[in-house]
């Protein structure tokens, strides 16, 4: 399998690629292309795809949305227009709910489109349970078993019957691929908790070897204790290699770099990884 980093917060050193706060990966497996998240706008993704020699209409067969946040979904309509045919968009059924922050002021941070706008261009497959997308590549479905140390509200809310409620981002889903070298787990922001996600993927597939974990780990505001515990759990679970960036934050990246040495990789636009 091959993973292209189509967009990420960092462009890389002396790089011709564009960066953007957000994530978009293209995963190629079993002869199919799965676009994992769509950044916050389509332009840098399409620019970087051109540089990588990737044509949206022939290289994208599915779109998987890891959760509702605008920096993972904002490019969706632009990408669908560039693909120019109806593809399946896989996401959690609650992805179109109201989702907002209130500090420092009320601001919507969810998917910036209505369901009808997406359905004009694509077929929605809203599935909260694990789902095999192509042979050996699965959506994890929602992560219900969340580790205690990874719980904690990040200041996002939703509306239920007009009432403001804390939102625990239950739509957070990842992708897991079975390879001959073990699992490759791809996450967007890991709002369910990255250790919870890895444990869920192991339980779900019955495969104990974890070849690599790739994505944002959302540790940007985490305390030292949580960061240390996360790195320790990765080592105990036998995670072999780590590719991270986006919302992981400099302190957690440094902790992973320290623990993993050359098996730590900072994500950047244009990076290509093969397993
Ligand atoms: Fe994010
Ligand atoms: Fe997020």
Q: Give the DSSP letter string of 105-139.
A: S-EE-S-SS-HHHHHTTSEEEE-SS-EEEETTEEE
Among the bound ligands, the one closest to the CA of 111: 2
Give pLDDT, residue 65.
Answer: 99
CA distance 181 to 187: 19
Give pLDDT, residue 100.
Answer: 98
Of all residues in the chain, the percent with pLDDT exceeding 70 is 100
Distance 258 CA to ligand 1 centre (A): 24
Distance 35 CA to ligand 2 centre (A): 17
Distance 203 CA to ligand 2 centre (A): 24
List, for residues 144-172, the tens digit of each pLDDT value. Answer: 999 999 998 899 999 999 999 999 999 99
Domains present along the chain, CATH in parentheses: 2-274 (3.60.15.10)
HSE-up of residue 88 (Cα within 13 Å, Cβ side): 12
DSSP character for 239? -
Distance 191 CA to ligand 2 centre (A): 7
Distance 204 CA to ligand 1 centre (A): 24
Give pLDDT, residue 152.
Answer: 87
Q: Which of 65, 67, 105 is nearest to 88 (CA)?
A: 65
Give pLDDT, residue 9.
Answer: 98
DSSP character for 181? T
List, for residues 119-139, the tens digit of each pLDDT value. Answer: 999 999 999 999 999 999 999
Q: pLDDT category, 182, cuts 50, 70, 90?
A: very high
List, for residues 22-69, the tens digit of each pLDDT value. Answer: 999 999 999 999 999 999 999 999 999 999 999 999 999 999 999 999
- Mean pLDDT of all residues in 88-103: 98
Distance 246 CA to ligand 1 centre (A): 7
Strand, coil or helix: what is 28?
strand
Q: What does the mean pLDDT of the chain come to?
A: 98
């Amino acid at each position: 399998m091959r993973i292209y980093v189509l967009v990420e917060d960092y462009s890389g050193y002396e790089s011709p690629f564009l960066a953007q706060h957000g994530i978009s990966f293209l995963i190629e497996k079993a002869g199919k292309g799965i676009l994992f998240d769509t950044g916050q706008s389509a332009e840098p993704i399409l620019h970087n795809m051109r540089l990588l020699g990737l044509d949206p209409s022939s290289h994208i067969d599915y779109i998987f949305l890891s959760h509702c946040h605008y920096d993972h979904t904002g490019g969706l309509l632009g990408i669908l227009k560039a693909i120019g045919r109806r593809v399946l968009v896989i996401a959690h059924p609650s992805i179109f709910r109201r989702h907002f922050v209130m500090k420092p002021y009320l601001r919507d941070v969810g998917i910036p489109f209505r369901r009808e706008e997406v359905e004009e261009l694509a077929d929605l497959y809203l599935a909260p349970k694990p789902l095999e997308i192509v042979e050996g590549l699965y959506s994890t479905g929602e992560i219900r078993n969340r580790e205690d140390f990874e719980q904690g509200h990040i200041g996002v809310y939703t509306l239920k019957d007009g009432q403001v409620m804390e939102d625990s981002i239950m739509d957070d889903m990842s992708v897991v691929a079975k390879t001959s070298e073990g699992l490759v787990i791809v996450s967007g922001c890991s709002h369910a908790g990255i250790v919870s996600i890895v444990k869920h993927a192991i339980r779900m597939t019955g495969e104990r070897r974890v070849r690599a974990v790739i994505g944002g780990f959302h540790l940007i505001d985490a305390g030292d204790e949580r960061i240390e515990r996360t790195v320790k759990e990765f080592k105990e679970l036998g995670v072999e290699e780590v590719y991270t960036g986006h919302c992981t934050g400099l302190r957690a990246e440094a902790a992973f770099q320290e623990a993993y040495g050359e098996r730590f990789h900072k994500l950047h636009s244009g990076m290509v990884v093969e397993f």
